[in-house]
């Protein structure tokens, strides 16, 4: 199977997985946005584009199985998955590292590609803020106040710990400031 065809097959698989769980919008608004942001960062930083594309597609593929540990589970599953598609051990190892470190919780990104993935993931959250409202209210079933605090903590963590490239911070600075103002206003409503 040619490289381009393999990538299209993987993209189709991921899209179908999200749709199965009625999360087609997640693929549309998070993965595709992250794809654009990661490739834009890669134009500047010059990482391995194939690794970046694969990591973008697969970084949240295990989210439906275990949202809290989808990074570690996804990294393990990506190894088997990419091996099935005939990718080299080098590519598999690099993609797995990107997936395992994209949340910057258990392990920190060490490679340029992993830093691009982590940064682009956080940037996508800030570019499309409504996606962050889904987790505390739909998944975690939080009340309004706890949900807003959760979102505030998330965007601040994304800004301080996940956006690892200065170019990425510059690209998303305005969105971070707007998101902060929106959350400040939401927190003041109760006061």
Please tell me the predicted confidence (pLDDT) of residue 191. Answer: 65
Q: How far apart (Å, rounded) are the C-alpha atoms in residues 153 and 135?
A: 13
Long-range contacts from 133-138, C-beta under 8 angstroms, 24+ separation: 135/67
Q: What is the pTM of this model?
A: 0.92
Q: What is the pLDDT of residue 110?
A: 97
pLDDT, position 23? 74
pLDDT digits (tens, 9 = 90+) for 87-106: 999 999 999 999 999 999 88
Residues in contact with 136: Cβ distance below 8 Å, sequence separation at least 6, in sequence order = 142, 146, 147, 148, 150, 151
Residues of the chain with pLDDT under 70: 1-3, 190-191
Domains in the chain: boundaries: 3-189
Domain 3-189 matching CATH 1.10.3210.10: the answer reads yes
Residues 59-90 as b/e (b if ≥16 CB within 10 A, e otherwise) read bbbbbeeeeeebbbbbbebbbebbeebebeee
pLDDT at 3: 54
Check residue 5 and give its pLDDT. 86
CA 134 to each of CA 23, 26, 37, 103, 148: distance values in angstroms, whole numbers, following the listed order: 11, 10, 21, 17, 11
Class of residue 91 by CB neighbours under 10 A (exposed 0-12, middle 13-18, buried 19+):
middle
């Amino acid at each position: 199977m040619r490289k381009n065809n393999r990538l299209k097959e993987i993209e189709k698989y991921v899209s179908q997985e999200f749709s199965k769980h009625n999360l087609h919008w997640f693929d549309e608004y998070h993965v595709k946005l992250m794809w654009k942001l990661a490739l834009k960062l890669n134009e500047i930083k010059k990482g391995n584009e194939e690794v970046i594309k694969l990591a973008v597609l697969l970084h949240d593929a295990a989210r439906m199985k275990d949202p809290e540990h989808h990074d570690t589970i996804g990294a393990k599953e990506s190894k088997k998955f990419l091996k099935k598609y005939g990718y080299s051990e080098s590519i598999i190892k690099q993609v797995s590292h990107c997936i395992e470190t994209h949340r910057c919780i258990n392990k920190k990104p060490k490679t340029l590609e992993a830093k691009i993935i982590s940064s682009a993931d956080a940037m996508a959250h800030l570019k499309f803020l409504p996606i962050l409202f889904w987790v505390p209210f739909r998944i975690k079933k939080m009340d309004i106040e706890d949900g807003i605090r959760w979102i505030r903590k998330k965007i601040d963590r994304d800004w301080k710990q996940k956006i690892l490239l200065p170019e990425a911070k510059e690209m998303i600075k305005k969105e971070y400031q707007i998101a902060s103002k929106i959350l400040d206003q939401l927190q003041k409503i109760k006061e």
